[in-house]
Structure 1
Amino acid sequence: MDDHVTGFEQTSTEDLRERAVELARQRWDVRFFWRLLGLIPAAEAVAGNMDASEASVAQASGFLYEALSSENDPEVQEALRPVYIQYLEEHGTAARSGGEEPGGNRAQD
């Protein structure tokens, strides 16, 4: 969508960002934030910041891992169980215990 169609052609990118983020906060629009989180590494790469792009992926995965590992409510974890299973199935990871990789090799941390 072009800026001239939306009426935002005179609005600074910083203002657009602030307005969009504030609106998403007010609406509790997790999908918007999730979308941004996924797009930031690509935007870094487009801007020519390849190191920052790689760092963004590492930071995002670290943030999500921390958020998930800090969640101690077993009922919430049980409610998310189907999501974990679906993801593992979609990505070809068979059910195994002990962190073993295909072929019997133990996953390295």
Structure 2
Amino acid sequence: MGEDLERLDTDELRERAVELARKRWDVSYLWKLVEHIPSAEALAGRPAAGQAGVHTVSALFSQLIAEFEGDHQLREALRPLYLDYLRQHQGT
């Protein structure tokens, strides 16, 4: 593809990665995002939120919704997942 994904901002990476996963019906990637939210919370400076997310599925989904509603620190912590996913699957 030739595009330098590293130059894109995190919001653009998130939008592209999630849209690509939707188009591919890639539930495993979307679930992977959910699984990484607790550690992303810890990286964003909120370890207690991460621990709560590990204990209940509802907390994971609440955090996933929050990720899409504009939590910049959380999106930044998930940036490596967006990059990795797009590199592996873009153009497939």
Q: Which band: TM-score by shorter chain? A: 0.5 to 0.7
- Aligned-residue identity in percent: 50
Runs in 1 of length 4+ with deviation above 4 angstroms?
A: none
**Which has more helix, going by share of residues?**
2
> Cα distance, 1:48 vs. partner?
1.3
Are the structure 2 counterparts of residues 63 and 48 from structure 1 closer, same or farther at C-alpha, using a change threshold of 3 Å? closer
Aligned residues: 59
1:62-96 CA deviation, whole Å, 9 max, x = no partner? 378xxxxxxxxxxxxxxxxxxxxxxxxxxxxxxxx
Distance 1:63 1:41, change over 3 A: closer
TM-score normalized by the length of structure 1? 0.46
Which of these residues, 39, 46, 51, is aligned with residue 42 of structure 1? 39
CA RMSD of aligned residues (A): 2.4
Unaligned 5+ runs, structure 1? 1-5, 65-109
TM-score, structure 2 normalization = 0.53
